[in-house]
């Protein structure tokens, strides 16, 4: 998959730059999401792997996508087909979403806690993380009953381990030093 990620980056950047220029970020996000779902379909993916002619691939893809793509979206699909990159569409979508989040100064934060967080706790966490990260924060909360207490927060490369298990591990390490 990392190979497809490297292939997808320049296409995602080009699509993102065009979408910003046209002030159509949400429209492009919807088009790419739909096209990525089509590319992930087992039957379509099999046809894309076997069909070698770029025009046939583009025609097939555009027939399936129908009116979900505007003229620029159709041209984008044709460019991907010419370069035999239609299978990279899911990775293009992922990279596009990353560009969009950075542009809009948003970040999705993964929060794992021992018990479900109520609305007030989530709001307090969003406020604290927004201030610390200087970005708009979206929480993706999950519950892990194996955690004794506290929470584990992951925001990009940053990890904040406020779990009881993490604190005990750090205490044990300190005592052994």
94 and 15 assigned to the same domain: yes
Q: What is the pLDDT of residue 51?
A: 62
CA 137 – CA 47 distance, rounded (Å): 40
Q: ∠ at Cα 36 (33, 42), nearest 5°?
A: 140
Q: Is the pTM of this model over 0.85?
A: no
Listed residues 102, 131, 149: the one ending a domain: 102
95 and 8 assigned to the same domain: yes
Listed residues 78, 102, 126: the one ending a domain: 102
142 and 163 assigned to the same domain: yes
Q: What is the pLDDT of residue 106?
A: 87
Which domain range does residue 32 map to?
2-102
N- to C-terminal Cα separation, the chain: 41
Listed residues 102, 129, 153: the one ending a domain: 102
98 and 112 assigned to the same domain: no
CB-based contacts of 58, cutoff 8 Å, min separation 6: 77, 78, 81, 82
CA 161 – CA 2 distance, rounded (Å): 28
Q: pLDDT tens for the chain, 177 residues: list them.
A: 457 788 889 999 999 999 999 998 999 999 999 999 988 888 887 877 776 676 777 888 888 887 888 889 889 988 988 888 888 999 999 999 989 988 988 888 999 998 899 999 999 999 999 999 888 999 999 999 888 888 999 988 889 898 888 888 888 999 998
How many distinct structural domains can be found in the chain? 2
CB-based contacts of 99, cutoff 8 Å, min separation 6: 12, 13, 16
98 and 18 assigned to the same domain: yes
| Cross-strand partners of 110 | 140, 154
What CATH number is associated with residue 109? 3.40.30
């Amino acid at each position: 998959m990392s190979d497809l990620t490297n292939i997808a980056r320049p296409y995602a950047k080009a699509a993102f730059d065009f979408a910003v220029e046209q002030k159509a970020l949400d429209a492009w996000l919807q088009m790419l999401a739909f096209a990525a779902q089509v590319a992930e379909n087992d039957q379509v993916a099999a046809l894309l792997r076997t069909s070698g002619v770029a025009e046939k691939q583009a025609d097939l893809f555009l027939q399936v996508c129908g009116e979900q793509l505007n003229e620029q979206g159709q041209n984008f699909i044709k460019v991907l087909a010419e370069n035999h990159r239609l299978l990279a569409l899911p990775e293009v979508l992922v990279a596009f979403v990353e560009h969009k989040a950075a542009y809009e100064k948003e970040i999705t934060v993964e929060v794992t806690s021992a018990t479900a967080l109520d609305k007030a706790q989530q709001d307090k966490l969003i406020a604290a993380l927004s201030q610390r990260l200087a970005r708009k924060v979206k929480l993706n909360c999950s519950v892990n009953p194996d955690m004794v207490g506290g929470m584990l927060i992951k925001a990009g490369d940053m990890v904040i381990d406020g779990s009881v298990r993490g604190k005990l591990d750090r205490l044990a390490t300190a005592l052994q030093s």
